[in-house]
Amino acid sequence: MDQRSYHQFCATARTLDLVGDRWTLLLVRELLTGPRRFGDLQASLRGLGTGLLSARLKHLEREGLARKITLPPPARTPAYALTEAGEELGPAVLALARWGMRWAMGERRADETFHAGWVVLGLRSCFVPQAAAGVRATYEFRVGDEVFHIDVDDGAIDTVHGPARRPDVVVTADEELFVRLGEGSTTLAAGLADGGASASGDAALLRKLGEMFVRPPMGDRLGA
Amino acid sequence: MDQRSYHQFCATARTLDLVGDRWTLLLVRELLTGPRRFGDLQASLRGLGTGLLSARLKHLEREGLARKITLPPPARTPAYALTEAGEELGPAVLALARWGMRWAMGERRADETFHAGWVVLGLRSCFVPQAAAGVRATYEFRVGDEVFHIDVDDGAIDTVHGPARRPDVVVTADEELFVRLGEGSTTLAAGLADGGASASGDAALLRKLGEMFVRPPMGDRLGA
DNA sequence: CGGCATCCATTTTGATACTG
DNA sequence: CAGTATCAAAATGGATGCCG
């Protein structure tokens, strides 16, 4: 991207000069839900070697999109976090995710890796701010050994890796159910009914979830 | 793409499997303002050879994002257009553009190519639907030998390559002015005042332009 | 664990020449 | 003009070894 710019005076091209390289936007996607350690990043991104990961992180640092931090005690281990500029890539990443929900998802393939956090981000891309007007709630999701929480505050939303401080609702689910949520072949409500998931906490806020996250209808690309 | 997928069951990753290859999103950007011929695409994208362009177009066709068409008479020459799925990448491309307007633009570099259409798309990414409530207008822009028009219809917007049928406002401008609009170092109003641009048509709708397109404040990445 | 360096097989790309 | 064929240069991925 430095040596290999598009050399176009165009906002899209300049952005892709910075984040258009292979793996870069997926790295941003990972960091969008909070700081991560080097090893965890690599574990999430199968096929990305330590060398390239190191190079990409340096690039993001050099360009002011991410920075290396030291996790607060008692961890004290190094990690990577997005800067303000990096955080603001969120809408672009979510727009790509939203397109994918409609035009690229479908059944999970046998050779595809999976993390619950990816589904959480997919859901976030389906968030309907209008439906969340006046809602203030924290939802915690526990899927296998992954924990996420979603903060909804009157049309604004944030999804973060890790447990919530004071969740209003806690949902515990099978990874299997989350795969099917990603596929669009079930809903959280159905999962709660048939035992793939269980929930505790405020029942009214739990019901709200289905209204605030509306998956786009599946489109048929001829080529897929 | 096919051979080199990320192999992740994730909406973002699946999208990038389809359009994450070099040049692909820029090709979509070009087609977002209407069908284009092979040669015109190549002329817009310096550095992209005919071989790769051909491969990318075939890929987009195979994946159902674009299709080869024959331009209506009297042209009758082959061209490429987006399908519905391709068109729907618009929000993602515009989100990237919007980020670039804020974090990546600045002065045009000496080695950067430039087309007025890129600035038009940048402007479009700064469109504020609320400010366009109740507005119904067609603006035509003539910059050098490039002509574009923008259709605003009560919060909805479309930007298209080529002249408008019945423009309410026609703006004629220097390429120089458009470069400075991209840089954020001037405004259309200033250009009209100092002679870099001239306009004819409905004066009230012309004034509206400045309200409907609000450029985000420039951010400072440490690394740039 | 975190992260850089090195070597090597495979892909992608960029540039150019060439054909209908 | 539209598009294929060809080849050299660069990017990637995978393995491995090293050091704090």
CATH number at residue B41: 1.10.10.10
Residues A127 and A67 in one domain: no
Q: Are B114 and B184 in contact (CB under 8 A)?
A: no
The CATH number of whichever domain residue B153 belongs to comes to 3.30.1050.10
Strand B66-70 relative to strand B136-143, pairing: unpaired
Quote the pLDDT of residue B123. Answer: 93
Residues A121 and A206 in one domain: yes
Q: A12-69, pLDDT tens digit by residue?
A: 999 999 999 999 999 999 999 999 999 999 999 999 999 999 999 999 999 999 999 9
A166 touches chain B (CB under 8 A): no
Domain assignment of residue A103, yes or no: no
Residues A142 and A208 in one domain: yes
Q: Which of these, A105, A19, A9, A12, lies nearest to A59 by C-alpha position?
A: A19
A221 touches chain B (CB under 8 A): yes
Domain assignment of residue A101, yes or no: no
CA of B90 to C1' of D5 (A): 34
Domain assignment of residue B32, yes or no: yes
Exposure string over A25-34, b if 16+ CB within 10 A, otherwise e: bbbbbbbbbb
In 3-state terms, what secondary structure has residue A138? strand
Q: What is the largest CA-CA distance in chain B?
A: 55
Among the residue ranges A50-54, B7-11, B135-139, B220-224, the one predicted with the least confidence is B220-224
Residues B44 and B80 in one domain: yes
CA of A4 to C1' of D9 (A): 13
Domain assignment of residue B203, yes or no: yes
| Chain-centroid distance, C-alpha B7 | 31
**Residue A219: how many CB atoms within 10 A of its CB?**
16
Q: Report protein residues in contact with nucleic acid strand D, where contact means CB under 7 Å.
A: A 3-4, 21-23, 47-52; B 4, 37-40, 49-51, 54, 57, 68, 77-79
Domain assignment of residue B206, yes or no: yes
d(CA A31, CA A57): 11
Domain count of chain B?
2
Residues of A in Cβ contact (< 8 Å) with B12: 25-26, 29, 93, 96-97, 100, 118, 121-122
Q: Which of A69, A88, A107 is the last residue of a domain?
A: A88
Domain assignment of residue A218, yes or no: no
Residues A84 and A129 in one domain: no
CA of A50 to C1' of D16 (A): 12
Domain assignment of residue A82, yes or no: yes
d(CA A205, CA A81): 31
d(CA A62, CA A54): 12
Exposure string over A146-161, b if 16+ CB within 10 A, otherwise e: bbbbbebeeeebebbb
Q: B12-64, pLDDT tens digit by residue?
A: 999 999 999 999 999 999 999 999 999 999 999 999 999 999 999 999 999 99
Strand A146-153 relative to strand A136-143, pairing: antiparallel
pLDDT tens for chain A, residues 1 to 224: 456 999 999 999 999 999 999 999 999 999 999 999 999 999 999 999 999 999 999 999 999 999 999 998 888 899 999 999 999 999 999 999 999 999 999 999 999 999 999 999 999 999 999 999 999 999 999 999 999 999 999 989 999 999 999 999 999 999 999 999 999 999 999 999 998 899 999 999 999 999 999 999 999 998 77
Residues B125 and B207 in one domain: yes
Residues B38 and B123 in one domain: no
Q: B83-113, pLDDT tens digit by residue?
A: 999 999 999 999 999 999 999 999 999 999 9
Residues B207 and B124 in one domain: yes
Residues A137 and A179 in one domain: yes
Task: Name the residue range of residue A202's domain.
Answer: 116-212
User: First CA to last CA across chain B, in angstroms?
Assistant: 31
Task: Kindly determine whether residue B115 and residue A10, on different chains, have CB atoms separated by under 8 Å.
Answer: yes
Residues B132 and B170 in one domain: yes
Domain assignment of residue A224, yes or no: no
Residues B83 and B126 in one domain: no
Residues A156 and A193 in one domain: yes
